Amino acid sequence: MTSHLRKSRLFLPLLILVGLLLFLVFSSLQNQAKLPPLKKHPSYSMLGTPPDWSLLDPYQHRISKRQFLFLLQNIYTIGNDWEKHFTVHEDHISILTGNAEAPTYCLYFAPKSPSQPLSPATFWELNPKRSLRDLHIAIDPGHLGGKWAQIEERWFQIGNGTPVEEGTLTLQTAQHLKTMLEQKGATVSLIRSNDETIAQNSANHYLKRLQKREGENAEQHRRRAEKLVYRTEEIRNRAALVNHDIQPDLVLCLHYNALAWGDPEKPQLTDTNHLHVLINGAYTTSELAHHDERFELVRKILGGNAQHEIGISQAMIKSFQETTQLPLYEYASDSRRAIRISDGVWARNLLANRLYQCPVIFLEPYIMNSHEVYDHVQYGDYEGQKMIHHRMRASITREYAGCVTRALEQYFQP
């Protein structure tokens, strides 16, 4: 009898603990079920939030009317759709904010002879007369490697050959570039140093909230949820690192381009290979309608980003062409998503080059599934030079890093 009572006393707390755990799990599942559906808000970009327009107050009276309108019309917008959201007055421009309590923001232009510098101090400072030794450069290896390369569909393999993964190539390039720039005296930070995402939420989190589109199957629904992880949230979190923690003078976004290759296990190779570099701009009609994107556009203009992005991008084009002889990519002449700035330099509004507040150079050299680049990648990362398609060349990641380093040396000459 005594033994039975002892067992009952031991069993009762255990039973209570199990019950408590089951309650917590059930409550968690209920809370997840109560998450509001995730829909693309017509007035904000995906996962975007209402901006704080007062952050633009320090820029009052610092940019001329002529300069503001030139940048707005020639670099940052396509056509006249900007007129739906901006109203030009003699001494200021009013901008729709989407805020019911303060529906417009008034930015006052500088007088003809402003007594203040064009832009107030920000966390970044660029000047072509500065030395690389004075610069803090952040390198953003585009995409992700490892398991994410296949999820992102930035991976292919031919037979038993070395897989071609953009995220792996960009990280290797970034590591070489960091070493080269540090040898020149620059301070360098890697925004990504491994293959892991810094997104806080999983695809399952978004899958439960993302409403299915009409005619969408389960696989298509999951891919949209995954894209919110590796593209949208990942880049937004990288932007938070750049703007609040790293705070560099310049960000270099490293990418390798590609054409459609079909089945990643039986990819189609192409003879096409080319190069281009992107700066922020060319906001489309739908992007201008987003309050958060409109805010970032204005902040880019006021920060004076375009001047530096254009100059550095042109140096990049020159450096790559001297080394690689890559032809320059051309968007269609009637493109509604890109503006030609100069040979090989184009303006496009991408999530990274919009959200990173300092000047951003977005590089797109090499076509990964071109015959030449594929063969180059198969040699791996090596020191010195090897014969690649009738020319002695460094490994592709070292060649890429070398081109970027020489371009920055050319641009920054104290």
Query: What's the confidence (pLDDT) of residue 9?
Result: 54
**Residue 207 φ/ψ, nearest 5 degrees:** -60, -35
Residue 363: count of CB within 10 angstroms of its CB: 26
Q: What is the pLDDT of residues 173-183, one digit of tens each?
A: 999 999 999 99
Whole-number Å distance between alpha carbons of 66 and 152: 43
Q: What is the pLDDT of residues 112-123, one digit of tens each?
A: 755 555 556 578
Q: What is the pLDDT of residues 13-51, one digit of tens each?
A: 555 555 555 545 444 444 444 455 665 678 999 999 999
- In the chain, % of residues over pLDDT 90: 83
With CA atoms as reference, report the closest residue to 273 among 150, 386, 377.
377
Whole-number Å distance between alpha carbons of 312 and 11: 72
Segment 177-202 mean pLDDT: 97
Segment among 203-207, 327-331, 343-347, 404-408 with least mean pLDDT? 203-207
- Residue where the block lists tokens 């739906």: 84
- Could you tell me the sign of the dihedral formed by the alpha carbons of 340, 342, 348, 354, in that order? negative
Q: What is the pLDDT of residues 50-63, one digit of tens each?
A: 999 999 999 999 99
Give the model's confidence band at 212: pLDDT under 50 very low, under 70 low, under 90 confident, else very high. confident
The pairing of strands 86-88 and 164-165 is unpaired
- pLDDT higher for 42 or 364? 364
Please state, rounded to an integer, the average pLDDT across all residues of the chain: 91
Residue 355: count of CB within 10 angstroms of its CB: 21
Q: What is the pLDDT of residues 224-249, one digit of tens each?
A: 999 999 999 999 999 999 999 999 99
The pairing of strands 136-141 and 250-254 is parallel
Whole-number Å distance between alpha carbons of 276 and 200: 32
Residue 387: count of CB within 10 angstroms of its CB: 9
Whether the predicted model's global pTM rises above the 0.85 cut: yes
Inter-axis angle of helices 305-324 and 291-303, to 10 degrees? Answer: 80
Checking if the pLDDT of 211 tops 90, the result is no
With CA atoms as reference, report the closest residue to 252 among 379, 411, 73, 72.
411
Q: Give the chain's domains with CATH numbers.
A: 132-411 (3.40.630.40)
CA distances to 136, 177, 369, 412 from 132, rounded to whole Å, are 8, 13, 34, 6
CA atoms within 13 A on the CB side of 402: 14
